[in-house]
Structure 1
Amino acid sequence: MPLKRLSLLWGLVLLTSVSACDGEEANREERMVNLSEVKDDEDAQLKNLNAAIEQSRRDGSLYARRAVVLLRKGELEKALSDANEAVNLTKNEPSTLFVKAQVLRALNRQEEALPLALQAERNSYQSSSLYVLLGELYLQRKEYKQAKVYLDKAQKLSPTDAYAFYYKGRVQEATGDTARAVRNYKLALEQLPDFMQPQRELAGILVNRGDYDAARPYLNAAQKLDAKDARLWYYKGLLYQATQKQDSAMLSFNRAVALNDTLYGAHYRLGMAAYLQGRTDTALVHLEKVYPKYEQEVKYLSTLAGAYERTGRNIKALQTYQQLVEVEPRYTYGYQAISRLKYKLTRPMPDSTAVRREMLEQ
């Protein structure tokens, strides 16, 4: 997994969040490893943790700490292995459950991460990072009310938590309150000026509003931080398209889908442009990918049906025009196209034998 996908998670992970095991054994390992002296050097952390684990294989806190370091390095499968061992050894100690939940979230196994994070909370683990994680997981499930509950809890513990501001903005944007979302994204940036995601979201909102001059600084700043973020290239394409720079827009949309092939908006615009340019096969490549998103949009269905008809796929064209008039019964051209295609599909085929006989007689 690319490290950029872990950037938000790194802000949530703190080595100090993993509590040591009880008793003198844990204290002895802390003095021996002295992790605090190397906390900014991941390789040094791993070296010391590896040595500590060799000497104390039953200390779950050491596995949890190593899982966090591996998570930061993007070595997710190794991190999960250590997180599992930590949970087993500490008998579901809440901080280790939290570590495992973070690793599962990084692996895009959110449905497994959520119950672990909730169990950590039930086991009396209080942390703004845990509440932010829960807020994000509920946001991904589109359970916005519950997401806000946890983000409010995070802000009670840590009123200046940039990640809480950011995810609260995401919730507000998803529920249509873009004015408050903008405010929270800006508050997140006040705490962390180099936080890319709020800059990206601000750029997207401002581009969609048509406020291109205001969007440019956020877009440029975000791309300096992450030039491989697909949505940034998509927003850049929208900005170019709005300012009549069609070639630059298409280059940006192509870059966006090269980075993320599921970016529907970019595929849609590439498909529409290719159709207008007469590049029908290319248009279909893009248009067919976005059908689930745009299947109720008249312009999309009309273009898709036209592309099928141009390429001789008359049955697909007929089916698409029939769907089009179901979506928009007043679309007159759709009925004309249906009649034309039905005639093409039902007219009798010439007798090839008769044609050959006539040619021989001549």
Structure 2
Amino acid sequence: MKVRLLLLALLLTACAEQRQVEAPPRPAADPPPAWERGETTPEEQKGPEGILDAPLCTDGSPYCKRWGEAGTLLEKGNVSALREELEALIETEPSRFEAWLLLGRLARARESLAFGEGGEGSRASLLAFSRARELSPDQDVVLLELVRTWLSLGQAPEAQALLSALRERHPNDPEVAGALGVVNLAEGKVAEARQWFSRAVELDPKNAERWSALGTSRLLEGKMDSAEAAFRQAVALDPALPQAHGDLGALLLLQGRLDEGLAHLERALSLKPRQATYLSNLAYGRHLKGRPDALETARAAVRVDENLVSARLTLALILAAAGDLDEAAVEIERAARLAPDDPRVQTAREDLEELRTSGR
């Protein structure tokens, strides 16, 4: 059975199901950014103060004092006390946006901001941020929070509609650059995404998530060496970031470095146990190692996310390799119903038919 790695088995976590490409021949690696070459000053490396860092509610009023104390409660995770305080602030001065801003942040506090991983909390935060925007339409911090929330819900067009103004007013904000990278990656514009992620890490080289996103875009361009460097930088900056380990592990499997790849995938799952992409990639790596637990790992990935096409196809591959061609065919057709135009589905069908005709 032909193994077509990028088309069939391995996916990264950033916009994973939005863009499926076969790895092209490796081009030369990207030149290092200016900050990495030592051609910028420390001030230029840091970049201007970001939108999220700008001071708010600075008029010295009792409202602003209480708002600042509420922000401290958010940092400490004191949810019940914070919610009561925010409701009191909104009742006291309903025309001010600041409490609504914190209420939106509180609603999604326990959810991931990664693309497409938001849930009920993110949907609730949209209502609060939208109310904040109604009260103060010119607050860019509110626009940026709306962008981040739309992206967490996998809604790139809605985020893109808000990003144009932010890009014009804040060309050196790393959050804006990173968001533009995510939008372009979701639209399949990999080269543009890589440029924006590169800009984001130039502006804020200490952010692990942006390094991981840069690695994803480089990998999708077939730039394996520079992708690995970006993923390793992400792991070095934040060893507890699941996606950094998950993405590095997937890349190492692609390169045939199975033991190290499996170790990073297992680390990713220890940090985020119910992540179907990590489970699916782990199943594939275990299959390549000939481990008997590969099949159950693949089934676990499908149980976690029955709509993840790559998990269905990885399960089909492992079933077919074990000789269970009928169940493999069922999984391929389930994947086809989820994504009729996905080229990996046709690849899997062709490979399965080849197995049938070969009599294996």
Q: Do Structure 1 and Structure 2 share a fold, with TM-score over 0.5?
A: yes
Instruction: Report if aligned partners of 2:211, 2:233 keep a CA contact under 8 Å in 1.
Output: yes
TM-score (normalised: structure 2)? 0.68
Q: Residues 78, 217 of structure 1: CA spacing in aligned structure 2 closer, same or farther, 3 A cutoff?
A: farther
Q: Match of 1:96, as an amino acid?
A: A
Which residue of structure 2 lines up, in the alignment, with residue 144 of structure 1? Answer: 156
Deviation at 1:303, TM superposition (A): 1.9
**Pair 1:181–1:79, CA change in 2 (3 A):** farther
CA deviation map 1:289-330 (0-9, x unaligned)? 234313796563242466696xxxxxxx85554454785676
- How far 1:195 sits from its partner (Å)? 2.3
Q: 1:83 deviation in Å?
A: 2.4
The whole-number CA distance in structure 1 between the counterparts of 2:278 and 2:92 is 48
Q: Distance in 2 between matches of 1:302 and 1:243?
A: 19
Q: How does 1:187-202 map to 2 (within 5 A)?
A: 187-202=199-214
Match of 1:300 in 2: 315
Match of 1:123 in 2: 135
- Provide closer, same or farther for how the CA distance between residues 276 and 135 of structure 1 changes in structure 2, counting only shifts above 3 A: closer
1:208 to 216, 220, 231: 220
C-alpha displacement of 1:273: 3.5
Partner of 1:90: 93
Give the Å deviation of 1:74.
4.2
Unpaired runs of 5+ in structure 2?
A: 1-48, 112-120, 337-345
Q: Which residue of 2 aligns with 1:356?
A: none
Deviation, structure 1 residue 127? 2.1
1:326-345 alpha-carbon deviations (Å, 9 max, x no partner): 85676447879xxxxxxxxx
Shift of 1:174: 0.8
Question: Aligned with 1:244: secondary structure?
Answer: coil
The aligned runs of 1:201-280 (5 Å cut-off) are 201-280=213-292
What is the percent sequence identity of the aligned residues?
A: 17
- Partner letter of residue 212 of structure 1? M
Question: With structure 1 as the length reference, what TM-score do the two structures score?
Answer: 0.68
- Give CA deviations for 1:123-162 in whole Å, capped at 9, x if unaligned: 1342222111111122233332221122222234433221
The alpha-carbon distance between structure 1 residues 82 and 221, as it changes in their structure 2 partners (threshold 3 A), is farther
Where structure 1 has 5 or more consecutive residues not aligned to the other structure, the ranges are 1-9, 27-58, 310-316, 337-362
Q: Structure 1 residues 188 and 319, CA, compared in 2 at 3 Å: closer, same or farther?
A: closer
Distance in 2 between residues matched to 1:220 and 1:335, nearest whole Å: 41
Rate the CA distance shift 1:159–1:230 in 2: closer, same or farther, 3 A. same
Alignment partners' CA distance in 2, 1:297 and 1:260: 20
* Secondary structure at 1:107 match in 2: coil
Deviations 1:48-69 (A, max 9, x none): xxxxxxxxxxx44333211222
Distance in 2 of aligned mates of 1:151 and 1:202: 19
Answer with 1 or 2: which has the greater Rg: 1
SS at match of 1:163: helix
Equivalent residue, structure 2, for 1:104: 107
Q: How does 1:28-107 map to 2 (within 5 A)?
A: 59-107=62-110
Q: Which moved more, 1:123-132 or 1:79-88?
A: 79-88
Query: More helix per residue: 1 or 2?
Result: 1
